[in-house]
Every structure is written in structure tokens, then in C-alpha cells.
Structure 1
Amino acid sequence: MSTENRSEAKDTVFIGKKPLMAYVTSALIQLANRPKVSIKARGLSIGRAVDVAQIVARRTDGSGYTIGEIKIGSEQLESNDGRPRNVSTIEIEVKKNA
């Protein structure tokens, strides 16, 4: 793994099935040490990623975080029956105000 990939993994929160506030806490901890964090999700977790970004940026009053660049796309995965299928993805940047 290159140094670039390691730094990306450290400033990225991958959204899964944990409770919502676990991801909010993780993002806030990373933002305490870094100028920005990426929140990434795919499929059914996209709504949860949006919720995490909104909570960090808007409900933590006075902390000075804003939503930056938002990227959407799709990935091709193999389903259980072996056929390819497309899954939507999202990446939301949350950053400290300058």
C-alpha cells in the first residue's frame, strides 16, 4: 500500500451498518486532526452517509464545518448469482471553515 493510499484511508469514513452516531463521532475525531474528511458509501448506505455529513456540518453549531465537494458514481459488482450489477456510490467531503 502506498503512502497516498494510507493517508486516504485515514481521512475517510466508510459508511456501513453501524449506528449513525458511530460514524459522526469517527468523522469528528478525524476532523480534529485533519482539515477535511471524506464520507464514502454505496448502495443502501448512501442515505446514512448524507445524514452523517449533515449532522457534522449543521448540527454541531459553532464548530465551523461545511460540506465541500460531493461526488456520485457507480461501481460494478458481482451479485450472488455471478451476474454483474451496478451499485451507486457517493463521496461527501466535510471540511473545516478557513
Structure 2
Amino acid sequence: MTDRRIIFIGKKPLHAYVRAVVKAMEDGDREVQLVARGATISRAVDVAEVCRRRNGHIAQGLPGTVNIETLSCESEEVEGENGMRTVSVLRIDLQGVGEVPASQEE
């Protein structure tokens, strides 16, 4: 099993996570895993779709094709204020195929 760069999805704006994926792939990590818990799951799905479709200015820095390799949905027990609680976890594995476009920064 290859090591993937793991990006934990939180409450930052969508473009911050898309930029993290772009940066990881520019650095040579063509396999990236997005991990989200609870309420941030929908944001992780949005990040994966923006990357897959290469929508927006930031996502243009991704390789020619970004595939969603696997989706994993599970539950984790975490310590809360009122004892243990169960939280849903979504893991999305992305794989970049092709060349990363040259940077257009001036």
C-alpha cells in the first residue's frame, strides 16, 4: 500500500482545501486522501468534485485527470462532553493522472 498525503477537511473555505490538493500534487504526491468527520463530510465531497472536474482558477493547477479511486464510510467513537459518541467519517482517495500544468504565477 502506498503512502497517501492525508488532508483533513474542517471548516475553512472550500478553496483552501482545493489549494491543498493542488499543492500536494505539485509536490509529487499524486495520491491524496481527504478525510472528513460529521458536518464537514459535505465539504469533502465538494472538494473532491471540484478537483475531479477541475472547476475554478485554483483547480486548473491539477493534473489532466483527477480520479476518485475509493470512498470509505465508517464510524469512529470519540470522547465528548457527555461521554463517548459515534461520529461518521468519510475518506475519499483521489489520484492525479497526467502532467501538472506549468505555474502561471507572475
Q: TM-score, normalised by structure 1?
A: 0.82
What stretches of structure 1 move > 3 A for 4+ residues in a row? none
**SS at 2:12 equivalent:** coil
- Aligned counterpart in structure 1 of residue 20 of structure 2, from 19, 23, 26: 26
Letter in structure 1 aligned against 2:92: I
Q: Which residue of 1 aligns with 2:64?
A: 63
Give structure 1 stretches of 5+ with no counterpart: 1-6
Question: Which residue of 2 is the match for residue 96 of structure 1?
Answer: 96
CA distance in 1, matches of 2:91, 2:25: 16
Mapped contact 1:14–1:40 kept (Cα < 8 A): yes
- Which structure: greater helix fraction? 1
TM-score (norm 2): 0.76
Question: Cα RMSD over matched residues?
Answer: 1.7
- Does the 8 A contact of 1:46 with 1:90 survive in 2? yes
Q: Which amino acid aligns with 1:46?
A: I
